[in-house]
Amino acid sequence: SQELEQSPQSLIVQEGKNLTINCTSSKTLYGLYWYKQKYGEGLIFLMMLQKGGEEKSHEKITAKLDEKKQQSSLHITASQPSHAGIYLCGAASSTDKLIFGTGTRLQVFP
Amino acid sequence: NAGVTQTPKFQVLKTGQSMTLQCAQDMNHNSMYWYRQDPGMGLRLIYYSASEGTTDKGEVPNGYNVSRLNKREFSLRLESAAPSQTSVYFCASSLTTVRMNTEAFFGQGTRLTVV
Say if residues A47 and A34 touch (Cβ distance below 8 Å): yes
Q: Mean pLDDT, chain B, as a whole number? A: 93
Helix ranges (DSSP H) in chain A:
none
Average pLDDT over residues B20-39: 95
C-alpha to C-alpha distance for B112 and A80, rounded to whole angstroms? 32
> Taking phi first (over 0 means left), then psi (-120 to 50 degrees means alpha), and beta for anything else, what does residue A102 get?
alpha
**Chain B residues whose beta carbon lies within 8 Å of the beta carbon of residue A100:** 35, 42-45
User: A-side interface with B, Cβ within 8 Å?
Assistant: 1, 4, 6, 9, 30-31, 33, 35, 41-43, 45, 48, 50, 88, 90-92, 95-103
Q: Are B107 and B6 in contact (CB under 8 A)?
A: yes
Write the CA distances from A10 to A102, B17, B38, integer angstroms.
11, 36, 15
| Banded model confidence at residue B73, pLDDT cuts 50, 70, 90 | very high
Give the pLDDT confidence of A84-96 residue by residue, as tens digits: 999 999 998 777 7
